[in-house]
Structure 1
Amino acid sequence: MSYSIVGFGAVGQALARAFARKNIDVSVASRRSPDALMQQARAIGPTVVPRTLRDAIASDTIFLAVPFWEHREVAKQLTTWQGKTIIDTTNAFGVPVADLEGLPSSAVVARAFTGASFVKGFNHLPAATLAADPGVNGGSRVVFLSSDDENAVTPVAALAEQLGFAPIALGPLEDGGSLVQAKGNSWAQLIFKDLVKFK
């Protein structure tokens, strides 16, 4: 299984740190060239490898960590995303509700990635919290996952556990996804909830 993070701002770097902590290889890409990302990537760890966008999206599992509307530019790179898993970490805070045509923001993103297994996740924590070690006082920091495809959630939950997080499935995008999304200029109930699951 190969992994990529598209977007290398605060959230993309936080995710890269999670991979580096577990010595799991991950490609990173952004609008900048791989050379421009190299210094930051090296500072995070040797398993974090800058790539071009075209190379990064060749991975099996892709974290989408770009500003909300930039998902459209990423989605245009392939005519079909069949066989790939997209993990949507974007947030649509400040995006007018009318621009989303009455859909949850994650449903708008999902529609752009034709054929992909699509999971909303890893988006409810501030980047600094997401970047921190998810092992907390003997427990694991919670990440919420939602998808209209139950089968898509299982491997993403397994990856979350591999990275040290405690995944909690919230159900379909319309229901669970709306608990971790911005709507206009307001945040949903579970955004920024830093929860820890103990065994």
Structure 2
Amino acid sequence: MVYAFRDIDMGELGRLVIESTVDGETRISSEVAGDPQDPMTAQRLKVFEPISEALTHRLETTLGRGRPTALPVRLSEPRGQVPVEEVYCEVCNQLVALVVFADEANDLDQLEDCARMMYMHYAWHNVPTWLIGPQYCGGPIPQRRANVLQVWPQHGPLESLRPEEFNPRIEALATQHCK
């Protein structure tokens, strides 16, 4: 059995796995979600570890004590493709930003899940990176807002922006890079 734990702001925290072993024992494993290098993994661990320890203690009270092990990190599993726009300097053609279109991410927790899954990609490129959820609200497309989350080099707050509010940030990176 696998029990997954989510946070409304951080998305998937981790999971508790309960399984039988070949020697007839029950194994209880706790896994925090994310890459060990991702600073958000430490934040997820801070929230998930006490939950995991409390549930494990409760299970051990009923089933008997097992052998303690370190809480492992579970790397993100690829789940399809996510569109990524690479933004280049207009002068030297160097990559200056990534914009990830997380079309299925309607809330902060879903954007955080996407950020966790994309961590290796944007960390490797080492350029400012934003995740953009689907547009919401009615009206003409230029007036529709979308949730925007900067994830690299710093993790920023969730913002609700129209294209005219977000696009100048990207355009500035492309035009000001070599100035």
Same fold (TM over 0.5): no
**Larger RCO: Structure 1 or Structure 2 (Cα < 8 Å, ≥ 6 residues apart)?**
1
Q: Which has the higher strand share?
A: 2
- TM-score, scaled relative to structure 2: 0.27
Q: Point out the structure with max Rg over C-alpha.
A: 2
